Structure 1
């Protein structure tokens, strides 16, 4: 056996022989409370999985002591699971992974939906900021929720950003005898309580429309806007990769920042604008175009001090710089 065995299990499904062997031959087993109820009796030392910090210390101690370890995970351990942390911190030659079906696979099978082109987003311990443009740019979205980002709160957020034309499926306690699957309109989810163990799947009604807005669609002061042709050329020259951080200094109507956020949906876009009135226009425009960017009301360079380092900068429709040139 490998030194660290990461075993996936799923309620309502038998534990496969390879996983049983790992459990049987381990000296230390890590498991969350819910999964502990599903594993067979063992003589191994059973340890809980608390916070990631606590788990990392206890795992390191057991590994240093030369123990054979099994970590019990839900479903597929490396699909938004604990397996990702372990494979990033231990040599893969010391690790064995025994996957089960993921909760998302089970959820989609329940409603007969294929997984092709589905965008999967985990909101476990993460801010909801920036979610709007990710939803806007996709027809099918799976969301892993938590106690703060509940289905009700997410639906309310979607409504604010005009993301109303979606069917929402909510899967509660998948695999258990009392699992529940519901199909809802957006307003039916707002204010409704669901079991803490849930997954949301969003399906857009009709085709996805990700057309970029024209100049006349933006709310602005006078003609304070970077024209569409300049926006498109400038953003192309910025050479943004998905996930990059952009500063749009002197954002005006926010047209460049909003355009960039629709192309760099996993990035962080900051619209920096000294005029409070214009910040109001930026906020109205980002809601209008279902984009959730960061608006900073302040003057450069003072307003930039607390921001994360940028990969690219756009200044007032004139100057473009890359971080590598700083």
Structure 2
């Protein structure tokens, strides 16, 4: 017995409307009882007999409407490839595999590569139609190529100004307008020139150039990247700490005593699948942590208040870093409430913290390391070594 046809078909529609659709997509549209999509997409349809339903704004409000058509042959329209920064994953998240099928069209990535001749496997891509420009910040380096969607034509000019402010005004912006349709237009500007010519729907190809500061790829980024009031895990210690925390795909970090947020931020920069929560008792520092994360385009949950009380009810972490305020109470709470297998890294700089860490290390095991660093400083007409406070680092798995 053949499987029943899914009630929902997601059709990727390009700017050329029905001309670019496959035979399967055209058949789905003709057989549909209901077709739901954005006003622009509905205007691109061929003659159909289905009931046409405009997708509301905000997008999330339309999901309940769409699910209300269950039991009727329904088509949901999306742009190009529905599963590249598109509506596909949001639509199917609450559905079973037997309820839906997808018929993608030519996505922006494929069309952009066809126009620019760029290899997709080495070109980072971003959906900036619903994300801040700062998401690009870690990728700004001369010679880097980037593809990105834009919300509308006006945003292309705002992006040009932002790139110029970052020191990359020499960037070539290839403006890719209405790719694949009769209104297609591709033109190039320099970021420091700007443009008012771009029109929706639009995406961009960026060839980054300029003398702006590029962010290193390895852990232990320069301290100057993080606004702080002196409470910051300094660059060499931060590199050692990230190595000890050893982030892995999909893991969540609890950063206790966040300070500037540099540890949690560098954790997030390790891979887009990672998440983190920073806990900071000082409200001014908590606000600064959020600002630092925003400057990199990162999503970092920041909780203001004293640990361990603020840890209650939070997502179970895969790793914990204690950078400040370590106490007997905190360690006892962690061992009583955090699941076994969680990795803990604690840095102590005071004699009291060192004694506490040594005591718990003797009881719980793990690795204990003393970090002593010195930097050359002027000493009269010559130079000498100026030592930083030594740091004791304890790494253990609960």
Asked if 1 retains the 8 angstrom alpha-carbon contact of 2:138 and 2:215, the reply is: no
Structure 1, unmatched stretches of 5+, are none
- Counterpart residue number, 1:188: 193
State the TM-score, normalizing by the size of structure 1: 0.74
Alignment map for 1:191-206 (pairs within 5 Å) = 192=196, 194-205=198-209
Q: Partner residue of 1:171? A: 176
1:140–1:204 contact (8 Å) kept in structure 2 = yes
C-alpha separation in 1, matches of 2:6 and 2:290: 53
Output the CA distance in 2 between the equivalents of 1:145 and 1:24. Answer: 31
Partner in structure 1 of residue 39 of structure 2: 33
Question: Structure 1's 68 and 261: CA in aligned 2 closer, same or farther, altered over 3 A?
Answer: closer
**Equivalent residue runs for 1:53-64 within 5 Å:** 53-63=60-70
- Measure the CA separation in 2 of the matches of 1:141 and 1:230: 32
Q: State whether residues 128 and 149 of structure 1, in contact with CA within 8 Å, keep that contact through their aligned partners in structure 2.
A: no
Aligned positions of 1:8-87 closer than 5 A = 8-12=12-16, 13-51=19-57, 52-63=59-70, 66-87=71-92
Partner of 1:233: 240
Shift of 1:14: 3.3
The within-5 A match list for 1:100-119 is 100-119=105-124
**How far off its partner does 1:241 sit?**
3.8
Spell out, residue by residue over 1:41-99, the C-alpha distance to the aligned partner (whole angstroms, 9 max, x if none): 11111111223333222222211xx2111222221222222222232222222222212
> 1:4-63 CA distances to partner (integer Å, 9 max, x unpaired)?
111222223432211111111111111322222322211111111223333222222211
Change (3 A) 1:263 1:303: farther
Distance 2:301 2:7 in 1: 48
Give how far 1:172 is off: 1.5
Using the TM superposition, name which of 243-252 and 116-125 deviates more: 243-252
Per-residue deviation, 1:234? 1.3
1:115-159 Cα deviation digits (max 9, x unpaired): 112222223334455442255699332222225992233333444
- Work out whether residues 135 and 141 of structure 1, in 8 Å CA contact, stay in contact via their aligned partners in 2: no
CA contact (8 A) 2:238 2:263 kept: yes
- Relative to structure 1, is the Cα distance of residues 2 and 46 closer, same or farther in structure 2, using a 3 angstrom cutoff? same
Structure whose alpha-carbon radius of gyration is higher: 2
Comparing 7-16 with 42-51, which one deviates more in the overlay?
7-16
Alignment of 1:1-326 (within 5 A): 1-12=5-16, 13-51=19-57, 52-63=59-70, 66-128=71-133, 130-135=135-140, 139-146=144-151, 150-163=155-168, 166-189=171-194, 192=196, 194-205=198-209, 210=217, 226-241=233-248, 246=253, 248=255, 250=257, 256-257=263-264, 259-264=266-271, 267=274, 270=278, 272=280, 274=282, 291-292=296-297, 300-301=306-307, 311=317, 312-316=319-323, 324=339
TM normalised by structure 2 equals 0.63
Q: CA RMSD in A?
A: 4.5
Q: Distance in 1 between matches of 2:55 and 2:76?
A: 9
Higher relative contact order (CA 8 A, sep 6+): 1
State the alpha-carbon separation in 2 of the partners of residues 292 and 227 from structure 1. Answer: 22
Aligned length: 320
C-alpha separation in 2, matches of 1:160 and 1:228? 25
Distance (Å, rounded) in 2 between the aligned partners of 1:25 and 1:113: 38
User: What SS is found at the alignment partner of 2:193?
Assistant: helix
- Cα 1:250–1:157 change in 2 (3 A) is farther
